[in-house]
């Protein structure tokens, strides 16, 4: 991910300054979890970045997403669900962030990115 993309995400996010570093760190964890030989489109990075910004905002506000239907989870490779859990576990400054719905939505982003979408 380029610094330009990170800057764009941070400029557009509505995160308190205290959590902007958490967002950057989560994007670094995401980048490290994906295969090195793929070219992730800018639009995917922006989608991931804005999604993670909202994940952080929900955690700050102690909000949770509703449950996602199990048939959606059945379409995601378990590898990406595990990677998603590890990435969300990296938020040591935020509690209750690694819910089933948050994990699944991040896993969808990871799988799409790994497949070049």
> What are the structure tokens assigned to 72, written together?
């959606």
Q: pLDDT digits over 12-24, tens only? A: 888 888 888 888 9
27 contacts 44 by C-beta, under 8 angstroms: no
Question: CA nearest 113: which of 28, 55, 42?
Answer: 42
56 contacts 18 by C-beta, under 8 angstroms: no
19 contacts 29 by C-beta, under 8 angstroms: no
pTM: 0.85
Residue keyed to tokens 């506000």: 61
pLDDT surpasses 80 at 47: yes
Q: pLDDT digits over 100-115, tens only? A: 899 999 999 899 888 8
> What are the structure tokens assigned to 49, written together?
């970045």
């Amino acid at each position: 991910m380029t610094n330009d993309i990170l800057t764009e995400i941070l400029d557009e996010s509505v995160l308190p300054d205290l959590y902007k570093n958490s967002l950057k760190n989560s994007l670094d964890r995401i980048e490290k979890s994906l295969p090195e030989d793929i070219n992730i489109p800018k639009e995917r990075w922006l989608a991931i970045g804005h999604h993670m910004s909202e994940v952080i905002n929900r955690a700050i506000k102690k909000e949770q997403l509703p449950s996602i239907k199990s048939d959606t989870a059945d379409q995601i490779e378990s590898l990406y669900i595990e990677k998603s859990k590890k990435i969300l576990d990296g938020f040591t400054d935020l509690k209750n962030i690694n819910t089933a719905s948050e994990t699944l939505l991040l896993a969808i982003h990871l799988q799409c990115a790994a497949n070049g979408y």
